[in-house]
Amino acid sequence: MEKLVVIGAGMASGRMLEHLTDAAAPYQITLFNAEPRGNYNRIMLSPVLSGDKTYEEIVTHDDQWYAERGIATRFGEHVVGIDRARKVVTGQNGEVPYDRLVIATGSAPFMIPVVGRDLPGVIAYRDLDDTNTMIAAARPGAKAVVIGGGLLGLEAAAGLQMRGMEVVVIHIMGHLMERQLDPSAGYLLQKALEARGITVHCKGATKAILGEDRAEAVLLEDGTVYGADLVVMAVGIRPETRLANDAGIEVERGITVNDQLQTSDPSIYAIGECVEHDKQLFGLVAPLYDQARVLAAALMGQPADFRPVQTATKLKVTGCDLFSAGDFADGPGREDIVFRDPGRGIYKRLVIEADRLVGAVMYGDTADGNWFFGLIKDGTDISEMRDTLIFGPAFQGGGSVDPMAAVAALPPDAEICGCNGVCKGAIMDAVLAGADTLDKLRATTKASASCGTCTGLVSQVMALTLGGEVQTADCICGCTDLAHEDVRRLIKAKGLKSMPAVMQECGWSTPDGCAKCRPALNYYLLADWPLDYRDDRQSRFVNERNHANIQKDGTYSVVPRMWGGVTTPAELRAIADAADKYNVPMVKVTGGQRIDLLGVRKEDLPAMWADLNDAGMVSGHAYSKGLRTVKTCVGSEFCRFGTQDSTGLGIRLEKLLWGSWTPHKVKLGVSGCPRNCAEATCKDVGVVCVDSGYQVSVSGAAGMEVKETELLVSVPTEDEAVAVITAFVQLYRENARYLDRAWKWTARVGLDWVKAQVVDDLEQRAALVERFEISQSVYRKDPWAEHAKPGARDEFAPLIDLRLEAAE
Amino acid sequence: MTAETTEWLDIAALDDIPPQGARLIRTAEGCVALFRTHDDRVFALDDRCPHKGGPLSEGIVAGHTITCPLHNWVFDLNTGLAQGADEGAVRTHPVRVEAGRVHVAAEVVARPATARNAA
Ligand SMILES: Cc1cc2nc3c(=O)[nH]c(=O)nc-3n(C[C@H](O)[C@H](O)[C@H](O)COP(=O)(O)OP(=O)(O)OC[C@H]3O[C@@H](n4cnc5c(N)ncnc54)[C@H](O)[C@@H]3O)c2cc1C
Ligand code: HEM
Ligand code: SF4
Ligand code: FES
């Protein structure tokens, strides 16, 4: 009988041995395994970790199984070498000769090379010993940090959490399981994990594991520190190829095999995660089972070819119902179909190419997963059922997306009317008690009775309660039925802090929005959650993305800030130098009391900014929906008519407000007396100084519309003027529609309501000022300096310049 | 495109292009923009809007569309065709991503020389 030696008693070789011995193949078999045990179902380690199963329950082959099949087992013994010339395998306890050899060594966890990774208490998640180490460490209340938010890391996190540990997951990418999920599904998964008490930290890069004698904490690049009694590294795996390498068999990333799983040495085969077939590696069992079948056939001299099939992923964490299959990689000609049900937390996305389904991601309801997977594998032509495809096989006509789903999904205590603090439940109660019109409802609950921006949502809640139709207000764009105000309200009521969160919970019909809604959502999120949300450059219009104004020939203009329109000889020299150095074709004085350098090439922007920064100047935000300029006159400092220091006040306001993002641009003017040289009364906010103090007026315009400001309040002191103006700007930031200038917004909500907030209600005024300051702690900084840093400059240059090569 | 096998040029790493963003390749006949969509697909189109020459690479990438920064025309990245009521087309170029690297067809670069000689 031929001698067959198998290295590694894992899931792939286990299945292969079943096929071989079932067919009574005439081999004398020796099986090595480094682990001191035979084959068990590795993928069920997660239920063992969580306590749902015991090790005994997941053993696939026990001693008796091996004995009955005459397999000689050498468990707990590493193979340390293969001598191909003599055809012997060297184990720790001696040699075994082979005629045919199967390498099935699986893979080794990748440990990221950070300081402290060798400390006790830092482990990987691969085998039963790791699992037992985790179980032993899992005292209730103890802290665990899991590095890696992929399948393995999340299963470890869930298991440890079920054993009572406080668990933090650190993930380097923007959303969990990014290889299987898109941001929307990743958001739902994160929400589900957070709901069960697991902390998820995305975009977190581990810097070091801290501790003296054992792991005590994990330090991230951003400075965050998480205490840790246990650190689990689950950042990826590498094929275990050391034996093959040493033996001189061909290895790329894995051991290279042909369609018969044969290596470059004809008497040696390899199977499982240690192999590379057709440039592909493997990390899930389904294709390995196919390999097992093919290799058994090959060893019995039967024809068979290994052809990898697509795989589907599920996560074995109860309560996290996700499914992902097929191909999301590049390829032109693809289209998406998206379905979201915010109420039930469902997201489904199908990717279609040439009338075939090529990929599917689902969260929340994965019942149809296998049906979709079947369509993908079979390449079924879906053109006939395309319109209803996403509703699954059971769909029999009817059924459509419910525009009120987002409101229906709100809990009763969600605040609908922000002005009067009226929640959804109170509105429903009032409606049921007879308030069946908007007027009656306003009279009884005061909902939508103040600024009125929540009227759309209130009507929807009414319609929901009464079961009637509601005509939806003017929606943001084709991606949603909701109006701007509705979305702003829902962002606050539901605590939505990311773009995928808004799109999911408000039932967006596209995977990632459009050029209309994305800039608006980006603004709403950063205005409402300044500390949690990070500005998304790719959701900004070109000027704000590049921090300069694009001109009609594709060049840019650069306008440094001149506080209150005041400059110095040194600044003027630096501006003149920059104009010379970068061949600026035109230097112009703007209407906003500063200097514009026009015609700058995009790739010169960062260097020019750095030069201006060196002279102490910062961005003038001449391109932003944000604070533009504060125009001043010389005021009491020099002018014989001046009543107050208008220049000083203007500078103070500009230094306070600069850098803030607003729904549309904001321009201020401060004049030192009613002669009004700074033309303050056609600005968004204008101050006219008088002997008795400061007249603050708002909502002027001098564009396509020309409109005089309306008086907000007269105050005796500069401090009060500053507080009222700050509160006004913050109220505008918190409530207006994106791209509504202040005058449009006050026309919608009424100046009386605005006065009530920032003039009459002193507490509210102070709260607005405080919230503005919190936001400014993030945004009162120079974007030019950020982008002029070495390393941050690259995006302003082309990837590659092929003009020279082409000319050759 | 001809039937002969395409020759590919390795241009950059996928990660050099921001997700939902674009970067440029400068060629003698004008710039070609590489767009990376939310699902990590990459498309190559001329960086010139057929309307009034807007730099498409500076627009907003959403789904598989690009919105021109100048007057908001929307183009399908797959076909280069203007969407909705607008009419026009942007030239698309062969591009592929392999092992995290972006490759464009060599003809994208070779093209200008011939174009100029012919002129
Ligand atoms: C916790 C966990 C959960 C998982 N969940 C899923 C899932 O839900 N779905 C899915 O499809 N996949 C899942 N996987 C992946 C799946 O388990 C692997 O794809 C599969 O086990 C690989 O099989 P294998 O035979 O190649 O390697 P393994 O099963 O790892 O077996 C290799 C064996 O070889 C031994 N060995 C290595 N080197 C030597 C040597 N020099 N001498 C002797 N013996 C050696 C090792 O000790 C090991 O026992 C999971 C993995 C883990 C760790
Ligand atoms: C001694 C008193 C005054 C001084 C020192 C003064 C100073 C100035 C200065 C320095 C400017 C800026 C000019 C520029 O940017 O180019 C200006 C602009 C202006 N002044 Fe006066 N001014 C005085 C009186 C007045 C009076 C009495 C009026 C109107 C009744 C007036 C109306 C204006 C207007 C409308 C502008 C804006 C012009 C523009 O922006 O193009 N000024 N003033
Ligand atoms: S507004 Fe009054 S104080 Fe200011 S410069 Fe004009 S005249 Fe003088
Ligand atoms: S130039 Fe592109 S839309 Fe006008």
Asked if residues A46 and A8 have their Cβ atoms less than 8 Å apart, the reply is: no
Identify the band that residue A806 occupies on the pLDDT scale cut at 50, 70 and 90.
Answer: very low
Check CB contact under 8 Å for B62 and A512: yes
Asked if residues A83 and A243 have their Cβ atoms less than 8 Å apart, the reply is: no
Ligand 1 contact via A658 beta carbon (within 6 Å)? no
For residue A543, the CA-to-ligand 4 centroid distance in Å is: 15
- Per DSSP, what are the bridge partners of residue A122? A231
- pLDDT at position B112, please? 46
The closest of B46, B66, B47, B33 to A514, measured between CA atoms, is B66
Residue type, A120: P
* Strand A217-220 with A206-210, pairing: antiparallel
Residue A106 has pLDDT above 90, yes or no: yes
- pLDDT at position A461, please? 85
The Cα of A333 is separated from the nearest Cα of chain B by a number of Å equal to 5
Average pLDDT, chain A: 90
Distance CA A100, CA A14 (A): 17
Q: What's the average model confidence in pLDDT over A188-213?
A: 93
How many helices (H) and strands (E) would you count in chain A?
Answer: 27, 39
Among the partner-chain residues B70, B72, B109, the one whose CB lies closest to the CB of A805 is B109
DSSP output for A358-385: EEEEEES--TTHHHHHHHHHHT-B-TTT
- Taken in order A621, A625, A627, A633, the sign of the CA dihedral is positive
Check CB contact under 8 Å for A519 and B60: yes
Q: Does B12 touch chain A (CB under 8 A)?
A: yes
> Does the ipTM surpass 0.85?
no
- Residues of B whose CB is below 8 A from A328: 39-40
Angle at B27 between CA B23 and CA B32, to 5 degrees: 40
Q: Does B26 touch chain A (CB under 8 A)?
A: yes
Asked if residues A11 and A58 have their Cβ atoms less than 8 Å apart, the reply is: no
Identify the band that residue A397 occupies on the pLDDT scale cut at 50, 70 and 90.
Answer: very low
**Cα within 13 Å of Cα(A449), Cβ side:** 15
A39-48 tens-digit pLDDT: 999 988 998 9
- Residues of A whose CB is below 8 A from B11: 799-800
**Residue nearest (by alpha carbon) to ligand 4 atom 3:** B71
Q: Does B80 touch chain A (CB under 8 A)?
A: no
- pLDDT at position A394, please? 64
A654-697 tens-digit pLDDT: 999 999 999 999 999 999 999 999 999 999 999 999 999 999 99
- pLDDT at position A685, please? 98
The Cα of B2 is separated from the nearest Cα of chain A by a number of Å equal to 18
Identify the band that residue A525 occupies on the pLDDT scale cut at 50, 70 and 90.
Answer: very high
A645-658 tens-digit pLDDT: 999 999 999 999 99
- Residue, of B89 and A447, whose pLDDT is higher: B89
How many helices (H) and strands (E) would you count in chain B?
Answer: 1, 10
Tally of residues, chain A: 808
Asked if residues A716 and A643 have their Cβ atoms less than 8 Å apart, the reply is: no
Start-to-end CA span in chain B (Å): 20
Residue A473 has pLDDT above 70, yes or no: no
Three-state DSSP at A133 gives helix
Distance CA B32, CA B90 (A): 11
Longest dimension (CA), chain A: 114
Residue type, A655: K
Average pLDDT, chain B: 85
Three-state DSSP at A458 gives helix
* Interacting residues of A687 by C-beta distance below 8 A, sequence separation 6+: A646, A649, A668, A669, A670, A671, A680, A694, A695, A696, A697, A721, A725
Q: What's the average model confidence in pLDDT over A710-732?
A: 97
Q: Does B89 touch chain A (CB under 8 A)?
A: no
Q: Where are the beta strands (DSSP E) in B53-118?
A: 60-62, 65-67, 74-76, 92-93, 95-98, 101-105
Q: What's the average model confidence in pLDDT over A601-613?
A: 93
Q: Does B34 touch chain A (CB under 8 A)?
A: yes
B23-47 tens-digit pLDDT: 999 988 889 999 999 888 999 999 9
Quote the pTM value: 0.70
Three-state DSSP at A130 gives helix
- Residues of A whose CB is below 8 A from B72: 515
Q: Please tell me the number of the ligand nearest to residue A594's CA.
A: 2
